[in-house]
Amino acid sequence: MDGIVTDVAVGVKRGSDELLSGSVLNSPNSNMSSMVVTANGNDNKKFKGDDKMDGAPSRVLHIRKLPGEVTETEVIALGLPFGKVTNILMLKGKNQAFLELATEEAAITMVNYYSAVTPHLRNQPIYIQYSNHKELKTDNTLNQRAQAVLQAVTAVQATNAPISGTTVSESAVTPAQSPVLRIIIDNMYYPVTLDVLHQIFSKFGAVLKIITFTKNNQFQALLQFGDPVNAQQAKQALDGQNIYNACCTLRIDFSKLVNLNVKYNNDKSRDYTRPDLPSGDGQPTLDPAIAAAFAKETSLLGLPVAAVPGALSPLAIPNAAAAAAAAAAGRVGMPGVAAGGNTVLLVSNLNEEMVTPQSLFTLFGVYGDVQRVKILYNKKDSALIQMADGNQSQLAMSHLNGQKMYGKIIRVTLSKHHTVQLPREGLDDQGLTKDFGNSPLHRFKKPGSKNFQNIFPPSATLHLSNIPPSVAEEDLRTLFANTGGTVKAFKFFQDHKMALLQMSTVEEAIQALIDLHNYNLGESHHLRVSFSKSTI
């Protein structure tokens, strides 16, 4: 068993039901009479005590239909993500157990979660409900094994380090066995959303929480399973695998954390046990329709995934979003798919004194071909941006939401509009709407363009290309310093046609890209600027 604790030094081997004779369960209404139990360990006992499904909340939970060989550790692991487990009683002969949590609130969260997501142990569904009992009183001498496991697990939760001095077999508890995985995605040429991760990892067990973030210019995630065994299985199966063909490689380790604290449910973090959480200050709540679409285990296209040759790697995400993301990159010819999903983004909290359709076109153009931009006439800190397809809008949203543009943190979410309307003929809208449909500056017009291979999150380091021979390092340093930032480092590639240039912050790099992408350097060379994954 690969859980938190390996098998414990066997305690007193008796029929678990002997424990019941010693006033094991302490109940306010003491309805033990409804439990007909004999102490000879046979399986023909009547066990009626907690059969009602909709009992009043209690911090003691009754778990039924357990597989015969299941261990205390596996049962305790069901409760760990929700709070401290304070006691356990296994009724092995009846394939049942009682689990006591430290608070009623933790038990309510656990029951609510598992009523939506059927819990499984050893690939068998099990059933969890409130017990009639308000606390669990166990005779510790008889319940030695369970207490040892509890003690070990509690120690791991507290210190996440191996413990000594308990009846657990040596090095039974190792910090490697956290239910939380740290995931890094290499070669991220297509967007990987929180929902894609949920879909892949939930094949191995109940995923409770996910937090995504960008660190060292790499998309990373922390993902918490309900059971450390599932985390172990997912790590073994997925580490080193590609999500899409030849890219988006998963690098997986156990986290030092044993529990994630998620404050907001949005496109960056999610607590699946707490659907009531707010979306956060100014953060877009994930549109329920999108959430539902992503959650569907079947392809939204009505196409079996197999009908999309080469679109997906062995992970075979049965999801239109995944297939479409691959299709958008020109790897797979799927007529009509690339345009799937909403193409229009709503961008808010813009600096209305500074922002122009052109600046939005340039920045969002890093992640797709911007067709139209409209700054809202009555709300000039917001704009609608229409991308060429739904995958480009997802890509732009995942990379630019929360970034700083002209000193303000922008919010990017999917709009309910499906197109951006141009103003009526002859109507002056003060240049707030612009059609870029025929722009020569689109980066992704050519199917299979190498620009698809070079999509990275905003970073302080910029990649410059199309530099004419006459332009020196000093010229470029001066040019970029004039955008209002500080040039920290510069490095030419061997052929001098390309270079890396590092600004002091990501915000400065965003500003420099907006100002200098397509800048005319003379000799009919227009400078190309994009974000780099490298540092100098």
Q: Which residues pair with 404 in a beta bridge?
A: 409
Average pLDDT over residues 189-212: 87
**Given this model, what pLDDT does residue 481 score?**
96
**Given this model, what pLDDT does residue 100 score?**
94
Burial of residue 377 (CB within 10 Å: 0-12, 13-18, 19+) is exposed
Average pLDDT, the chain: 76
Q: Which of 210, 228, 180 is nearest to 272 (CA)?
A: 210
Number of Cβ within 10 Å of residue 13's Cβ equals 7
Q: Does domain 180-271 have CATH number 1.25.40.340?
A: no
User: Where does CATH 3.30.70.330 sit in the chain?
Assistant: 60-136, 180-271, 344-439, 453-531
DSSP assignment string, 122-158: TTEE-EEEE-S-SEE---TTTTHHHHHHHHHHHHHHH
**Given this model, what pLDDT does residue 210 score?**
96
Compute the distance between CA of residue 265 and CA of residue 285 in angstroms, rounded to an integer: 7
pLDDT band for 342, please (50, 70, 90 cuts): confident
- Looking at per-residue pLDDT, the higher value among 473 and 83 belongs to 473
The CATH number of the domain covering residues in 453-531: 3.30.70.330
**Given this model, what pLDDT does residue 5 score?**
31
Does 325 have pLDDT greater than 90?
A: no
Least confident segment among 4-13, 251-260, 405-414: 4-13
Cβ atoms of residues 82 and 109 within 8 Å:
yes
pLDDT band for 153, please (50, 70, 90 cuts): low
Average pLDDT over residues 130-156: 75
pLDDT band for 142, please (50, 70, 90 cuts): low
Compute the distance between CA of residue 289 and CA of residue 415 in angstroms, rounded to an integer: 12
**Given this model, what pLDDT does residue 310 score?**
30
pLDDT digits 0-9 by tens, 507-519: 999 999 999 999 9
CATH T-level fold of 60-136: Alpha-Beta Plaits (3.30.70)
**Given this model, what pLDDT does residue 66 score?**
94
Its pTM surpasses 0.75: no
Q: Collapse the DSSP code of 535 into the 3-class scheme (helix H, G, I; strand E, B; otherwise coil) and give the result.
A: coil
Q: Classify domain 344-439 by CATH architecture.
A: 2-Layer Sandwich (3.30)
Q: Which residues pair with 88 in a beta bridge?
A: 99
Average pLDDT over residues 59-83: 87
**Given this model, what pLDDT does residue 168 score?**
31
Q: Which of 411, 361, 367, 373 is nearest to 390 (CA)?
A: 367
Q: Collapse the DSSP code of 441 into the 3-class scheme (helix H, G, I; strand E, B; otherwise coil) and give the result.
A: coil
Least confident segment among 19-23, 422-426, 467-471: 19-23
Does 328 have pLDDT greater than 50?
A: no
Does 37 have pLDDT greater than 70?
A: no
Does 158 have pLDDT greater than 50?
A: yes
**Cβ neighbours of residue 200 under 8 Å, at least 6 residues apart?**
238, 243, 315, 317
The phi and psi torsions of 315 (rounded to 5 degrees) equal -70, -20
Q: What percent of the chain has pLDDT over 90?
A: 38
DSSP assignment string, 321-358: HHHHHHHHTTSS--TTTTT-S--EEEEES--TTT--HH
Inter-CA distances, 35 with 32, 99, 129, Å: 5, 18, 17
Q: Which of 235, 226, 283 is nearest to 259 (CA)?
A: 226
**Given this model, what pLDDT does residue 50 score?**
43
